[in-house]
Amino acid sequence: MGLILVEEESNMLVPPSNFSIVEDNCIYRSGFPQPSNFPFLQSLNLRSIIYLCPEPYPEENLEFLRINKIKLFQFGIDGTKMSEIIQFLSTASAESIELVV
């Protein structure tokens, strides 16, 4: 007789890779979100996402944004400039980002 184990679906919220808080409860940064990260992102009550890659934003992610009324701002930045942008975003205040968004 064999035993079959069924893994129950986890209710754990999974943040995107490299997720961190830049400013409490208002500015966050992360790697590109996957569908498994959507429940976590919903918990943040995001109003907008700034996407810095030149590649098109995937349709599945766009649908998530539409459903949750999240605005997408895309600035296709050359990879050689990306570290400078990330450095700026990680030190910027909420007020300076508000001017952009």
- The 10 Å Cβ neighbour count of residue 82 is 12
For residue 98, pLDDT beyond 80? no
Q: Output the pLDDT for position 26.
A: 86
Global pTM reads: 0.69
| CATH dotted code for 20-100 | 3.90.190.10
**Distance between alpha carbon 52 and the CA centroid of its chain, in Å?**
11
